[in-house]
Amino acid sequence: PGLSYTWIFNNNTLDLQEDSRRFVSQATGNLYLAKVEPWDVGNYTCAVSSAAARRRVWGTPTALTLRGDGVMGEYEPKIEVHFPETTYAAKGSSVRLECFALGK
């Protein structure tokens, strides 16, 4: 609670207000890019802020490059769902089950 996530692209803060291809989850801090384009190539750095602590920290830059061969390596299309056989929840509480697909 109280954390805010921002992504820096090539030393400039990403402005995602009107961007339909990129999204930053304020729950996890993850940056999602859809339909990667050549102009997306560069260095991405996550910055995490805490207003309560009056502190901001930056992660290590991560380079995004395009592969010319179209091969995604470890990110070949796959769908994985890993749920326990039974999920327990207290009456009236909320439960979140996530499904994640990754690939081209």
Which of 53, 66, 63, 59 minimizes the C-alpha distance to 7? 59
Total tally of structural domains belonging to the chain: 1
Domain limits for position 32: 3-102
pLDDT digits (tens, 9 = 90+) for 77-97: 555 556 567 777 888 887 776
**Strand 12-13, strand 78-80: pairing:** unpaired
Percent of the chain with pLDDT over 70: 74
More confident residue, 69 or 42: 42
Q: How confident is the model at residue 10 (pLDDT cuts 50, 70, 90)?
A: very high
CATH number where 62 lies? 2.60.40.10
Q: Where are the beta strands (DSSP E) in the chain?
A: 3-9, 12-13, 22-24, 31-33, 42-50, 55-58, 62-64, 78-80, 100-102
Position 96, amino acid: R
Q: What is the mean pLDDT of residues 98-104?
A: 57
Q: What is the pLDDT of residue 9?
A: 92
